[in-house]
Amino acid sequence: DSGVTQTPKHLITATGQRVTLRCSPRSGDLSVYWYQQSLDQGLQFLIHYYNGEERAKGNILERFSAQQFPDLHSELNLSSLELGDSALYFCASSVADQNTEAFFGQGTRLTVV
């Protein structure tokens, strides 16, 4: 158990809908990272928050947004969902914002039908 909690584990929704994925980082970690992993693909970096502030963006679609709350949990919002958004979404956390080890949650499997 990495200490990073993601909910829900599975999500099935229809095209055009909006969903929210939630991540609770390890106790004491200030950084949260979000990744997307499509079937049999690598992990694509989406966005990084540190202590409530956005630090970096990857190839995140405009339909996607995220935030980190004062209690350090984070949410990834996906809207106007398309079939191609079906993927595993992972959250990771680390203590600092640079050059530190990141620990991953179990992921949320999103299926868009």
Partner 1 sequence: GQQLNQSPQSMFIQEGEDVSMNCTSSSIFNTWLWYKQDPGEGPVLLIALYKAGELTSNGRLTAQFGITRKDSFLNISASIPSDVGIYFCAGPTTSGTYKYIFGTGTRLKVLA
Q: Is the peptide bond before 25 cis (omega within 30 degrees of 0)?
A: no
Q: Minimum Å distance from CB 16 to partner 1?
A: 26
Task: Name the DSSP class of 99.
Answer: S
CB-based contact 9:91 (threshold 8 Å): no
Cβ closest to partner 1, residue 8 vs residue 16: 8
Q: Quote the CA–CA distance of 19 and 11 in Å, as a whole number.
A: 9
Build a one-symbol-per-residue string for 55-94: x at contacts with partner 1 by CB under 8 A, - elsewhere.
Answer: xxxx-----------------------------x-x-x--
User: Contacting partner 1 (CB under 8 A), which of 13, 22, 43, 86?
Assistant: 43
Residue 48 contacts partner 1 per CB under 8 A: yes
